[in-house]
């Protein structure tokens, strides 16, 4: 175990060697497509949108090493921000999220077609043709603190339907993404209610817990199972026959509580996804100004561990 100020929860899951997958077969480094030769959707499972979210790399390695192939349609396995991943240093494990900028804020046509350049934009432009031919996407992520796993379905009904069909993780966040720039999961047809393309993002818990890799594998198999994309016997063997599903909770994110001063104090510690029953419950005070829950059964989606001016104290959500 490696616990330091740079990683207070330790680094228990390290990057794995993905260089065997560099050449791929698509002309784009670290993008491999298998074609069953049978009609069916083209699925993509993508890892390393963020370079330090290493669980996705472990999941793809698992699929490669087990020779997982589609039995209908096509399956693309891709590693996105490899430059950031290659910069990983266990002493500063958060530093390799990206090199120049967040790869997951670039997925607007204006940005991709624009004049600006960066390590991530260069990669996104090279990667884009692989995404443009995809029907349905699973994008694998993790988070910086120990928190429950969750799916981010976006705001379209088809995104929610995909999360529902996968059955796990339990918590499904319905959110519109980031004002700073579109995520891969919100790119083009994925975000178009009129298009059939579905996408979902999974957060597999804390970046550097070993369980994150297991969750990434399980979620990948659930995604493939939904589309009948691979041998069901392989899925059964690795998912086991644990009964699927405790009911999922779909949470509509209504907005953040933003910390406006240096004197924000939480009223108490809130757990991730804690449901606060009573409307008007005190969340905290911001230099004396009370911030309270705006409606009953308010979900505390991702409470911050410390209050930093300008950051989000907590995102609030309503159970759908």
Q: Catalog residues that contact Zn ion under the rule CB under 5 A.
A: 50, 53, 141
State the Cα–Cα distance between residues 149 and 152, nearest whole angstrom: 10
314 in Cβ contact with 283 (< 8 Å): yes
Q: Is it true that the peptide bond before 169 is cis, omega within 30 degrees of 0?
A: yes
Closer of 141 and 158 to Zn ion (Cβ): 141
Least distance (Å) from Zn ion to the CB of residue 4? 21
State the Cα–Cα distance between residues 161 and 229, nearest whole angstrom: 17
Backbone angles phi, psi at 115, to 5 degrees: -90, -25
Give the distance, in angstroms, between the CA of residue 256 and the centroid of all CA atoms in the same chain.
19
Closer of 214 and 231 to Zn ion (Cβ): 214
- Residue whose CB is nearest to Zn ion in the complex, by number: 141
Closer of 187 and 266 to Zn ion (Cβ): 187
Least distance (Å) from Zn ion to the CB of residue 150? 12
Strand runs labelled E in the chain: 31-35, 42-47, 74-79, 136-143, 150-152, 171-174, 198-206, 249-258, 264-266, 274-276, 282-286, 289-292, 298-300, 312-319
Closer of 59 and 283 to Zn ion (Cβ): 59
Closer of 207 and 291 to Zn ion (Cβ): 207
219 in Cβ contact with 204 (< 8 Å): yes
In the block, tokens 């996104």 appear at: 124
In the block, tokens 């430059």 appear at: 83
CA angle 283, 212, 146 (to 5 degrees): 25
CA angle 290, 293, 296 (to 5 degrees): 150
What is the enclosing helix (H) or strand (E) of 301? none
Least distance (Å) from Zn ion to the CB of residue 3? 22
State the Cα–Cα distance between residues 65 and 63, nearest whole angstrom: 6
Least distance (Å) from Zn ion to the CB of residue 140? 9
Least distance (Å) from Zn ion to the CB of residue 20? 24
Least distance (Å) from Zn ion to the CB of residue 48? 9
Closer of 158 and 207 to Zn ion (Cβ): 207
Least distance (Å) from Zn ion to the CB of residue 155? 19
Least distance (Å) from Zn ion to the CB of residue 273? 18
Classify 50 as helix, strand or coil. Answer: coil
Closest C-alpha among 75, 72, 70 to residue 26: 75
Closer of 46 and 76 to Zn ion (Cβ): 46
Least distance (Å) from Zn ion to the CB of residue 133? 23
Closer of 141 and 291 to Zn ion (Cβ): 141
Closer of 209 and 227 to Zn ion (Cβ): 209
């Amino acid at each position: 175990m490696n616990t330091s100020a740079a990683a207070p929860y330790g680094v228990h899951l390290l990057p794995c060697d993905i260089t065997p997958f560099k050449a791929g077969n698509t002309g784009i480094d670290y993008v491999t497509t298998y074609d069953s030769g049978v009609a069916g959707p083209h699925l993509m499972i993508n890892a390393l949108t963020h370079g330090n979210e290493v669980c996705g790399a472990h999941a793809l390695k698992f699929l490669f090493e087990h020779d997982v192939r589609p039995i209908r349609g096509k399956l693309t396995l891709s590693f996105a921000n490899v430059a950031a991943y290659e910069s990983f240093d266990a002493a500063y494990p958060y530093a390799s999220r990206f090199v120049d900028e967040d790869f997951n804020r670039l997925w607007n046509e204006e940005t991709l077609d624009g004049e600006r350049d960066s390590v991530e934009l260069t990669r996104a432009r090279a990667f884009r043709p692989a995404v443009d031919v995809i029907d349905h996407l699973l994008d694998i992520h993790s988070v910086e603190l120990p928190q429950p796993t969750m799916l981010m379905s976006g705001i379209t009904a088809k995104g929610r339907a995909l999360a529902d069909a996968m059955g796990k993780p339990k918590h499904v966040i319905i959110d519109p993404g980031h004002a700073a720039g579109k995520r891969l999961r919100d790119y083009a047809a994925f975000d178009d209610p009129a298009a059939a393309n579905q996408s979902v993002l999974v957060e597999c818990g804390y970046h550097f817990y070993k369980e994150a890799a297991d969750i990434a594998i399980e979620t990948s198999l659930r995604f493939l199972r939904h589309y009948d994309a691979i041998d069901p016997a392989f899925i059964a063997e690795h998912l086991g026959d644990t009964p699927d599903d405790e009911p999922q909770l779909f949470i509509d994110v209504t907005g953040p509580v933003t910390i406006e001063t240096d004197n924000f104090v939480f009223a108490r510690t809130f757990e991730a996804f804690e449901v606060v029953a009573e409307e008007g419950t005190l969340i905290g005070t911001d230099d004396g100004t009370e911030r309270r829950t705006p409606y009953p059964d308010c979900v505390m989606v991702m409470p911050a561990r410390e209050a930093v001016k300008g950051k989000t104290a907590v995102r609030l959500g309503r159970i759908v």
